[in-house]
Structure 1
């Protein structure tokens, strides 16, 4: 974990090294000042030597100035190093997430990833700054003050040693009891973020069903859980301050009492006693600082582990050593394909799939909910890898291709359509960032998106809100289809991507595909038979297996499931799930 996180310091190593150096310099200057004060009192004030007071006073001013400069520079470099470390952590996590396969992403919740990129990184940033500054300053201050105290009077300094041992033991026990609560707290932030994310993204549904009170209750429960855990942790930590004050005042009383006796006995000077009292505060306050550092480190340990999980998670889909960068055509072959989302997790999602699709063919895929239609097409663009068997595109196993090349040539319009904030042109150019406006208009005509874009006041420069909230479901689907067409793919997969489009527009889109992109292999997943009946061939899926494969006419004659669904839809407008008496 430390190696993983330490690798993200990168260009801020110099700042990370400079910070503790300046902090130690500041401590040295602070520790010299009490000795100078003792000298002023013992050799200047008591002896009436004004010259000595001036000289030592001047040195004190210089020491204070150096200490001030060192403190400022330590703060400056500490902030730079910790902020830079946090920046690199966020960047590294985000870049690594971009490399994840779908199976990697499935291991994390969206809310969990957001928490790791925000709250957890902030905790680690604060802890790193504390480590660079306080972890160097506090031990150095305590050690130097202890050495100075023993130099002045070993007998009185032994009081500090006993106090440090007792206080350190108590603080360790407090920290250990608080740690378990902090480890429980940060996963609860995932639940809180999940509640907020779900509520905001589905706010229209919440309001439509008047469920604001229910959602407020869910949020309150998640927030209350975090509150209770932190309260328990803080209850343990609340013993820190009383213990520290008890120790400090006990040490001051003992040193004052014993020191006064030693002054009377002429074995200790007034200046030395004052220095010892100053060092007493330095030692015990350093210990208090260390306890705060331990609190921060304790809080950040859970965050550090969660961040390391994201950084150490590597994509299970890798490019081969010598990948192919050219896909000859859009032919697709499934050769005894088995697939499961998790290896060894029960029955496979897809079982013994054998299919051969010619380049340029239009293939319909139809099946009930949960029949693994989407799982089937996800293997073509290698969003997942097969568990057994092979999927070939252009006559070669998809695992032999460079993944970027494969995904550029196999365009997928996913079942869940997503648009990003920006203009319509910005969204379309996700398909080809160098596409001209004329090319964007051409693909929009193919997807029948020009019909509504031309009616918008700003046309193709119309701004799309986050998630496409200012366009309808059908408009969103057509824009996503146009975006995929801009890639000029050899294979185009439409995963139920015209479900929100009326049948007339659906027919126009299919007709445009037939005439404008005849060489592109088209796979159309649909619930409506009318969306696929003109396809060259149709795949009927049931329970992760191919139940039938042929043309519309052939399936009507030979496939009972297809025939029943066709009759139910043409007779009463039913969908694929309404079959066999369901």
Structure 2
């Protein structure tokens, strides 16, 4: 999976890869040539006292060294550029894929793990790719070439290579095998820490309101301790590598000197050859060590690649039709035909055979007890989910056959929990229409009863908005979200309990200003307060996912027990207040 991911995203940088291969070949051949030249200087120059030979061969060694340095620097640059570019493309691909997810896929993965996969996991793949590009040619060539050159210097010491290389490979390889499951646990621990931290930051008000700081500290401490324990386990295994490698290195060097000295004394080997042989043996062991180090990084990168690929291979459950049908009716209305919907993994449908019609120029309210399926119905109209059975038509076209961009261009959604992006008031409002003028923004703010507090903010339309709208109140955030939908001027307005954060006076003023602004549009209002929907042209009453009543307020009070009960309960509360 790791190689498939890398191969796919590395293909555009084939030119850099080719340059890396050539430069690595030059650098490796230069490294293999230097010990032989050094041995020749010792034997033919130093021992023989030939200063001219030393200078000539030394000049060649200098030129080879410069070539080695330039080639190595080129490899480092090309490898760093290619790996960084692949990481950039991976992050972009993951971001694009997540942006296409429906609410179902977002709920299945969760925000913390998606963030971790697009940051930590991509970094792991980038690191192993960078190392691989830098050493993928030099390691095998250095190993094979080093063995060849060492045997050329002296065959009698070849048994040292046959012992030292497998010994080093077995020692480090056994450690790597034990590290693989720990790497998987480490990535899962990172997800857990991110999830707990995100929950605590997002829910800090709830935590403080219920004085649960110590409980949350214990939760984070548990997650952090688990991650720390996993990292320590990996660290303990990793700490064994270098001492064992150095033990093999030093033992091999001592063996070369010991047995080489005997061969020199018997006239079977020269001092220069022994020096070159020792250097080649070190190069061989170094290549083995780097190869094993690469293999140590690959398991963790493979886990990360699997997590990234899982996101990239996940297709949205909301799929656009291959040949979309355009929505031609303007203004568009909404028709629900026997709509049934069940959340993935749920035992029972949340909506059952809902049939209704929302006409342009009318306001349709949806009421019901908590869990009746009101917000789910709005999400289905906007096609954040797809219906399990039945059909939803917008402008006479089944939403599953319409193009997603075409569908969403007809809809202005104000969600139950409004979200504002970091930026300014203007940038948030222009999410509805990027080409909207300042006058259009102020008009939308006036209708949403938000122009007064925006004028008081420093900068007005250019006043800064923090991430999530944390620097404005809940009611102000709600009104800015309503204004954002008004800027779009869609055919269908979906207000998902969007007036609950407003006081009764502001609610009344907003509805009065909204009426002429939306007189040609189909307006769907999910509401908890009956006072918000008294003047609605149609009220749909949901209970346990079914439509138990439909009509105007006065008719439903007399004919629908569920609606009458809701009205009576709110009337009691108002009397008590």
TM-score by length of 1: 0.95
Partner residue, 1:580: none
Of 311, 314, 337, the residue aligned with 1:335 is 337
Partner residue, 2:71: 70
Provide the C-alpha distance between the structure 1 equivalents of 2:436 and 2:155, rounded to a whole number of angstroms. 80
RMSD: 1.8
Provide the C-alpha distance between the structure 1 equivalents of 2:361 and 2:199, rounded to a whole number of angstroms. 41
Partner residue, 1:223: 224
Partner residue, 1:578: none
- Kindly state the Cα deviation for residue 538 of structure 1 after the two structures are TM-superposed: 0.7
Change (3 A) 1:574 1:368: farther
Provide the C-alpha distance between the structure 2 equivalents of 1:223 and 1:232, rounded to a whole number of angstroms. 14
Partner residue, 1:84: 85
* 2:340–2:390 Cα contact (<8 Å) kept: yes
* Structure 1: segments with no counterpart, 5+ residues: 576-582
Provide the C-alpha distance between the structure 1 equivalents of 2:259 and 2:322, rounded to a whole number of angstroms. 77
* 1:327–1:393 Cα contact (<8 Å) kept: no
TM-score by length of 2: 0.96
Correspondence list, 1:393-404, <5 A: 393-404=394-405
Change (3 A) 1:361 1:5: farther
- Kindly state the Cα deviation for residue 210 of structure 1 after the two structures are TM-superposed: 4.2
* Structure 2: segments with no counterpart, 5+ residues: none
Change (3 A) 1:181 1:574: farther
Partner residue, 2:153: 152
Correspondence list, 1:539-554, <5 A: 539-554=540-555
* 1:364–1:537 Cα contact (<8 Å) kept: yes
User: Secondary structure at the residue paired with 1:366?
Assistant: strand
Partner residue, 2:558: 557
- Kindly state the Cα deviation for residue 188 of structure 1 after the two structures are TM-superposed: 1.1
Provide the C-alpha distance between the structure 1 equivalents of 2:562 and 2:140, rounded to a whole number of angstroms. 77
Provide the C-alpha distance between the structure 2 equivalents of 1:261 and 1:467, rounded to a whole number of angstroms. 77
Structure 1 consecutive aligned stretches of length 4 or more whose deviation exceeds 4 Å: none
Aligned residues: 574
Q: Which moved more, 1:262-271 or 1:351-360?
A: 351-360
Partner residue, 1:141: 142
Deviations 1:473-503 (A, max 9, x none): 1111111011011111111000001111011
Partner residue, 1:420: 421
User: Secondary structure at the residue paired with 1:107?
Assistant: helix
* 1:4–1:312 Cα contact (<8 Å) kept: no
Q: Which moved more, 1:301-310 or 1:314-323?
A: 314-323
Deviations 1:550-569 (A, max 9, x none): 11111101111111110111
- Kindly state the Cα deviation for residue 436 of structure 1 after the two structures are TM-superposed: 0.4
Provide the C-alpha distance between the structure 1 equivalents of 2:542 and 2:135, rounded to a whole number of angstroms. 64
Partner residue, 2:522: 521
Provide the C-alpha distance between the structure 2 equivalents of 1:142 and 1:44, rounded to a whole number of angstroms. 29
User: Secondary structure at the residue paired with 1:400?
Assistant: coil
Q: Which moved more, 1:87-96 or 1:324-333?
A: 324-333
The reply to whether residue 298 of structure 1 matches residue 289 of structure 2 is no
Correspondence list, 1:168-187, <5 A: 168-187=169-188
Provide the C-alpha distance between the structure 2 equivalents of 1:424 and 1:441, rounded to a whole number of angstroms. 11
Q: Which moved more, 1:499-508 or 1:129-138?
A: 129-138
* 1:419–1:468 Cα contact (<8 Å) kept: yes
User: Secondary structure at the residue paired with 1:193?
Assistant: helix
Provide the C-alpha distance between the structure 1 equivalents of 2:575 and 2:93, rounded to a whole number of angstroms. 49
